[in-house]
């Protein structure tokens, strides 16, 4: 577990540092249950069995399952930030290349077992639990913010709200690939080609789309932003 998530875990799971190792084992078990068994089996009893603890011990550290969901998402955000630092936020890269790399990293992540299954189950939980829905939405808002940053740099003609709308479109386009190209999905083998297409098409879109396009109005041909 990452340092940030461990600190968050220590502060929430009873508030005692000595319980952090136990709480971390519970979070690890919860992640495995959600990925392998699905949201229908995401119960305190099943999680306790997975980590070899008593139900009361799990409940002591995490009185509500929503706390486990929050820590799972916090841990993933922290790991994503580290990947962005090493792969995207490097000196000398153009905004176009940074956005292309973000898109590739997101799609490569979607192709993995963890993300394909974990987020499918989280959205299923979100349909029944308003707190989980809020936590998942906040997670995606962070992802949209990263994409929006580079859209704004590539296309300064867009207002902040328009850049956010384009970022949402890019994110939704990628997430929509999950049931088709995610882990063990029917067209998973086509993911490399999909990444190549998305890296060109979505970046070109970010560069060339105009406020008139977003508003659904006729507009002159846009200018490419290859030089940016």
**In sequence order, which ranges of 37-112 are alpha helices (DSSP H)?**
44-51, 55-61, 65-87, 95-110
- Considering the chain, what is the average pLDDT of its residues? 88
CATH of 88-215, one of 1.10.1740, 1.10.357, 3.30.1360, 1.10.1760: 1.10.357
In tens, the pLDDT along 101-131 reads 999 999 999 999 999 999 999 999 999 999 9
Provide CB contacts within 8 A for 24, sequence distance 6+: 1, 6, 9
CA 27 to chain centre: 18
Confidence of residue 217 (pLDDT cuts 50, 70, 90): confident
Distance, in Å, from the CA atom of 142 to the CA atom of 205, rounded to the nearest integer, reads 21
pLDDT of residue 199 exceeding 60, the answer is yes
> Going by C-beta distance under 8 Å and a sequence separation of 6 or more, which residues neighbour residue 8?
70, 71, 74
Return the domain boundaries, the chain. Answer: 3-64, 88-215
Lowest mean pLDDT among 7-16, 35-44, 51-60: 7-16
Place of tokens 């105009």: 210
pLDDT score recorded for residue 21: 86
Closest CA to 190 of 202, 180, 200, 199: 180
Q: Say if domain 3-64 classifies as CATH 1.10.10.
A: yes
Q: Residues 63-94: pLDDT tens digits?
A: 988 899 999 998 888 989 999 999 999 999 99
Q: What is the pLDDT of residue 1?
A: 44
């Amino acid at each position: 577990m990452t340092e940030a998530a461990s600190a968050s875990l220590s502060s929430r799971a009873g508030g005692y540092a000595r319980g952090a190792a136990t709480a971390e084992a519970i979070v690890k078990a919860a992640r495995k249950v959600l990925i392998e068994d699905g949201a229908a089996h995401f119960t305190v009893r099943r999680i306790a069995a997975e980590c070899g603890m008593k139900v009361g011990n799990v409940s002591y550290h995490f009185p509500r399952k929503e706390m486990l969901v929050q820590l799972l998402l916090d841990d993933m955000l922290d790991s994503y930030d580290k990947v962005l630092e090493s792969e995207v936020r490097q000196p000398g890269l153009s905004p176009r290349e940074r956005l292309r790399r973000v898109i590739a990293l997101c799609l490569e992540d979607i192709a993995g077992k963890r993300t394909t299954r974990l987020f499918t189950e989280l959205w299923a939980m979100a349909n029944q639990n308003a707190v989980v829905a809020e936590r998942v939405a906040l997670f995606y808002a962070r992802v949209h913010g990263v994409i929006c940053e580079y859209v704004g740099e590539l296309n300064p003609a867009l207002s902040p709200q328009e850049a956010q709308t384009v970022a949402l479109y890019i994110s939704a386009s990628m997430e929509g690939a999950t049931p088709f190209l995610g882990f063990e999905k029917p067209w998973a083998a086509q993911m490399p080609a999909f990444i190549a297409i998305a890296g060109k098409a979505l970046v070109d879109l970010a560069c060339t789309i105009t406020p008139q396009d977003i508003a659904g109005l006729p507009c002159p041909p846009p200018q490419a932003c290859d030089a940016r």
